[in-house]
Chains A and B, each alone.
Chain A
Amino acid sequence: MLYGHATFHTSPYSLSGLNEATQHEELAVDLFLQSIVNSLIQGGFFALWAVGMVLVFGIMGVVNFAHGELVMVGAYAIWVLKAQMGMGYIPAVFIAVILVMLIGIFMERFLFRPKREDPLGGLINSIGILFILQVVALLVGGTGPAKQVTPAFPGTLILDEFMRIPHQRLFSLGVSIAALLILWFFLTRTKLGWSMRAVALDREAAALQGININRTSLIAMAISAGLAGLAGALMAPISNIYPHMGHNVIITAFIVTIVGGLGSLSGAVLAAFLYAILHTFVTAYFSGTIASMVGLLLMVVVLIVKPTGIMGQRVSE
Chain B
Amino acid sequence: MNKFNLTQFVVMLTLFIGLILLPHYLRYQHQDFMIFLIINVLVVVSYRLMTLTGEWSLIHIVMMGVGAYTSALMSKHMGVSVWLTIPLAGLSAAVLAGLLSTPLFRMTQFYFLIGSFAVGEAIRLAWIFFIKPFGGSSGISSVPSPELLGIDFMDPIPYYYLVLIVVSLCLWVLYRIEKSRIGLTLNAVHWKAPLAQSVGVNTWKYRTLAFMVASLFVGIAGALKIHYLGNVTPHQFGVGSMVFVLIWVIVGGYNTFYGPIIGAVVLSVLDESLRNLNEYRPAIYGVLLIISIMFMPKGLEHISQGLKDWIKTAKSSS
Contact = CB atoms under 8 A, between A and B. Distances in A.
B265 interface: no
A158 B15 CA distance: 73
Given A2-B282, A138-B279, A292-B125, A63 B246 contact: no
A1 B233 CA distance: 12
B290 A303 contact: no
B101 to A, nearest CB: 12
Given A4-B238, A63-B110, A135 B103 contact: no
B286 A132 contact: yes
A255 B117 CA distance: 11
Interface in B219-235: 235
A127 B118 contact: no
Chain A, interface SS category: helix
Nearest to A118: B297
A132 B286 CA distance: 6
A308 B188 CA distance: 28
Contacts of B94: none
Contacts of B294: 111, 114-115, 125
B293 A303 contact: no
A121 interface: yes
Interface stretch (A14-22, A76-84, A294-302): A294-302
Contacts of B286: 127-132, 135
Contacts of A135: 279-280, 282-283, 286
Contacts of B288: 128
Contacts of B107: 303-304, 307
A32 to B, nearest CB: 24
Given A1-B236, A290-B129, A125 B122 contact: no
A4 B240 CA distance: 8
A139 interface: yes
A120 B246 CA distance: 11
A135 B57 CA distance: 26
Chain B, interface SS category: helix
A90 B247 CA distance: 40
Interface string A228-255: 0000000000000000000100010011
Given A1-B238, A128-B289, A289 B115 contact: no
Nearest to A305: B106
A5 B138 CA distance: 11
A121 B283 contact: no
**B interface, size bucket:** 35 or more
B236 A300 contact: no
B283 A3 contact: no
B129 A293 contact: yes
**A interface, size bucket:** 35 or more
Contact of B285 (A115, A131, A292): A131
A139 B279 CA distance: 10
A159 B293 CA distance: 55
Find the residue from A3, A118, A143 having the highest chain B CB count within 10 A: A3
B126 interface: yes
Contact of A131 (B103, B115, B121, B283): B283
Nearest to B279: A138
B119 interface: yes
Contact of A304 (B106, B246, B283, B290): B106
A4 B103 contact: no
Nearest to A139: B280
Contact of B293 (A1, A121, A131): A121
Contacts of A255: 118
A119 B111 CA distance: 13
A296 B124 CA distance: 11
B72 interface: no
A213 interface: no
Interface in B252-289: 279-280, 282-283, 285-289
A12 B247 CA distance: 29
B240 A293 contact: no
B293 A136 contact: no
B114 interface: yes
Contact of A3 (B111, B239, B280, B289): B239
A293 B282 contact: no
Interface in A253-296: 254-255, 258, 287, 289-290, 292-293, 296
Contact of A4 (B122, B235, B246): B235
A8 interface: yes
B111 A138 contact: no
Contact of B279 (A9, A114, A120, A143): A143
Contacts of B240: 1-4
A48 B97 CA distance: 35
A23 interface: no
Given A1-B238, A115-B293, A304-B115, 7 more contacts: A1-B241, A131-B283, A135-B279, A255-B118, A292-B125, A293-B126, A303-B106
18 contacts: A1-B240, A2-B243, A3-B235, A4-B238, A7-B128, A120-B250, A128-B285, A128-B293, A129-B290, A131-B285, A134-B283, A136-B283, A287-B129, A289-B129, A296-B121, A296-B125, A297-B118, A304-B107
Please name the 8 residue pairs, one residue from A and one from B, whose CB atoms are nearest each other, closest first.
Answer: A2-B240, A131-B286, A135-B283, A128-B289, A128-B290, A132-B286, A131-B282, A128-B286
Interface of A: 1-5, 7-9, 63, 111, 114-115, 118-121, 124-125, 127-132, 134-136, 138-139, 143, 247, 251, 254-255, 258, 287, 289-290, 292-293, 296-297, 299-300, 303-304, 307
Interface of B: 56, 103, 106-107, 110-111, 114-115, 117-119, 121-122, 125-126, 128-129, 137, 235-236, 238-241, 243-244, 246-247, 250, 279-280, 282-283, 285-290, 293-294, 297
